[in-house]
Structure 1
Amino acid sequence: MIILPVVSTKGGEGKSTKAANLAGFLADAGLKTLLIDGDYAQPTASSIYALKYEAPYGLFELLMQSVDLNQPHQIISRTVIDNLDLIISNDPLGQLKTAMLHATDGRLRLRNVLQHPLFQDYDVIIIDSQGARSVMLELILLAGTESALGIVVPVLPDVREFLRGTITMMEQLLPLTSYGIYLPKILILINRMNYTTLAKETLDSLNEIISQGKYSERSADLPIFVLKTQIYDLDIYKRGHAVGQPVHRLERNTSRKSDSAAKTMHDLACEIFPQWQSRFRVLLAKGAAHV
């Protein structure tokens, strides 16, 4: 089981859309996938895909440990996409933030609860998060098993905010390594890329900062990488959200300079999960059989 948090300390970067599209691609590739909506303020991931079964409980009960995990139907919702399950966000008043802040194991609560046998059946668990620095973002990041996906828009203030917010948070969590709790590496995904000179210059600047370890004096303890795959600023991603479909089902070919949505999601999945590249190639070659 691989747990992949999707994070950013700035809102509006596109975390929910990318988390849902990646989850949909993995599910169509035959991987049993769970999407957890950890954004209590704007629970977008809970509503992108229609449900064929909605569980009565969600993230609130999971973290408050008030649900029987031996009865999966109480907390696992099932989407209309085969192999894709969901745990909804159901904390509109933000009570979890206070509860986890004061719980002795608050920052480790999600990491610990996902060790339950219920979750071991999943190949991948993707966790969406709120775009703000809080204990909720910290506990989601600490649940990651290998990597966390950081979403950044190629605008200099957004890049600075991501690095400042994310690096500060990770540096403050580093003392946990003394207890054998290690932070996942951060894989930066550039979202809403465009062909402007300014966007290219911003990306070049980010690559230089990351490759030379300029983001932290403890960069050796905080591994960060920029993914080669980039998500271009295209209407197909808005359309996918609007019709409740993962974008790889909607656009497989294009005459544009940028790759199709299907090719882009394929490349992204291959970079993050190279062990399943053969599955992803098969899905890409199948065509729009699921539509």
Structure 2
Amino acid sequence: MIVFTVVSTKGGVGKTTTTANLGALLADLGMRVLLVDADVQPSLSRYFPIAERAAFGLTELVKSGSLVPECISTLALPRAPRRNSELNPDGVLDIVLSDAPEGQLQDWLSPRIDRAVRIRTALGAPHVRETYDVVLIDTQGAVGHLQDAAVLAADTLISPVSPDILSAREFTTGTLELLERLEPSSVFGLTVPPMRAMIYKLENTADSRAISDAIREQFVPMRGRVSVLRTIVPHAVAYKRSATEQIPVHWLDPQRAGRTMHQLVWELIPSLEGSWALACEAFAASDEFEEARHE
């Protein structure tokens, strides 16, 4: 099992969109995926429809330090409209919903010595690793104990970066502060995971090389702890529309957004390179997609 935490010290940079769409695509590729909404503003919890809502969620996971079935909700996504072209039957997409009112969980974590490992401990249990292949954790933009616990639970951090130099500088400052704040965790045998920065919402792809190079220069002070993904997510209305319609972006725009999301998955999990989701083919015809949505 591999754990990705999508993190940024700045809000509104695409963390939730990235988490939701990566999770949906991985499930379409046959992976057993668990989403964890570790943001007190439950955007990920509202991204896709819920089929079966669990009695508990993030609060129980953190406070108990364990992940039990009563914390896991099931997401409801429509089936592919073409006959004999269903979504991968082996794929799973579950979620731990955010149910933590503003500040309460942070306050509960604050005095605890083990606050940094509460999520890590819960996800590290053998039954969790046997049930899921990938865990994706969405986080809040504000600095706090909950964000720190989500970071230290990960094998790899993913951080969307807006494609402009000012945002890159802000990202560098915030990331350095995060890394330096968590470095003392090494005393307890914890290490801060490597971070993969992702250029997100690029307006003009012709400028991608120059912007990527400029952003990479900002990472020199981080001593190799941060690298920039080759995959660049261009600005596209499909991402906003998919969130509005509560469907994965690779269903809505299989040729462009779908290809980008596949490339992102392949870069993050090289063993999946060359694998394509059946949903991209099944949802390619927009008329069939619209007919299916209104059945």
The bucket for the TM-score relative to the shorter chain is: 0.7 to 0.9
The Cα shift of 1:108 comes to 1.1
2:63 corresponds in structure 1 to 64
The Cα shift of 1:201 comes to 4.7
- Look up the equivalent residue of 1:142 and give its one-letter code: L
Distance 2:110 2:227 in 1: 30
- Look up the equivalent residue of 1:78 and give its one-letter code: T
- Look up the equivalent residue of 1:264 and give its one-letter code: T
Q: CA 1:85/1:285 → structure 2, altered by over 3 Å: closer, same or farther?
A: closer
The residue correspondences of 1:189-200 to structure 2 (distance < 5 A) are 189-195=198-204
The partner residue of 1:271 within 252, 258, 267 is 267
Distance 1:133 1:197 in 2: 34
The residue correspondences of 1:155-170 to structure 2 (distance < 5 A) are 155-170=164-179
Alignment pair present for 1:288 and 2:283: yes
Alignment pair present for 1:112 and 2:121: yes
The Cα shift of 1:199 comes to 7.2
The Cα shift of 1:164 comes to 0.8
Cα deviation 1:140-163 (Å, max 9, x = unaligned): 110002x11011111223212211
Alignment pair present for 1:48 and 2:43: no
Distance 1:166 1:38 in 2: 18
Structure 1 unaligned regions, length at least 5: 254-259
Alignment pair present for 1:208 and 2:203: no
Structure 2 unaligned regions, length at least 5: 78-90, 290-295
Distance 2:186 2:237 in 1: 42
2:239 corresponds in structure 1 to 237
Cα deviation 1:236-261 (Å, max 9, x = unaligned): 000100111110111123xxxxxx01
The partner residue of 2:153 within 127, 132, 143 is 143
Instruction: Assess if the C-alpha contact under 8 Å between 1:32 and 1:124 holds in 2.
Output: yes
The Cα shift of 1:193 comes to 0.7
User: What is the Cα-based RMSD across aligned positions, in Å?
Assistant: 2.2
- Look up the equivalent residue of 1:208 and give its one-letter code: E
Secondary structure of 1:192's counterpart equals: strand
Secondary structure of 1:281's counterpart equals: coil
* Structure-1-length-normalised TM-score: 0.87
2:9 corresponds in structure 1 to 9
Q: CA 1:17/1:173 → structure 2, altered by over 3 Å: closer, same or farther?
A: same
The partner residue of 2:71 within 72, 75, 84 is 75
* Structure-2-length-normalised TM-score: 0.86
The partner residue of 2:133 within 123, 135, 151 is 123
1:257 corresponds in structure 2 to none
Alignment pair present for 1:24 and 2:24: yes
The Cα shift of 1:69 comes to 4.3
Instruction: Assess if the C-alpha contact under 8 Å between 1:133 and 1:165 holds in 2.
Output: no
Distance 1:69 1:282 in 2: 29
Identity of aligned residues (%): 34
Q: CA 1:111/1:243 → structure 2, altered by over 3 Å: closer, same or farther?
A: same
Q: CA 1:33/1:197 → structure 2, altered by over 3 Å: closer, same or farther?
A: closer
Instruction: Assess if the C-alpha contact under 8 Å between 2:28 and 2:277 holds in 1.
Output: no
The Cα shift of 1:13 comes to 0.4
